[in-house]
Amino acid sequence: MASQKVSTSGSSSTSSTNKPAVSAGVIPVLKDQNLFLLMRSYRYWDFPKGIVEPGETSLFAAKRELKEETGLKGANFRWGEDFIETERYSYGKVARYYLAEVESEDVIILANPVSGRKEHDEYRWLTYDQALKLLVPRVKTVLEWAQAKIHPREPGLYL
> What per-residue confidence (pLDDT) applies to 12?
45
- Chunked into runs of 10 residues, the chain (159 residues) has average pLDDT values of 53 52 95 95 94 95 95 94 90 92 92 81 96 95 96 66
> What per-residue confidence (pLDDT) applies to 156?
57
Residues in the chain: 159
> What per-residue confidence (pLDDT) applies to 20?
76
Q: Is the dihedral of CA 58, 98, 76, 135 positive or negative?
A: positive
> What per-residue confidence (pLDDT) applies to 3?
41
Instruction: Please provide the DSSP assignment of 66-124 as one string.
Output: HHHHH-----B-TTTT-EEEPPPPTTS-EEEEEEEEES------PBPTTT-SBS-SEEE
* CATH architecture designation of domain 20-149: Alpha-Beta Complex (3.90)
Amino acid at 145: W
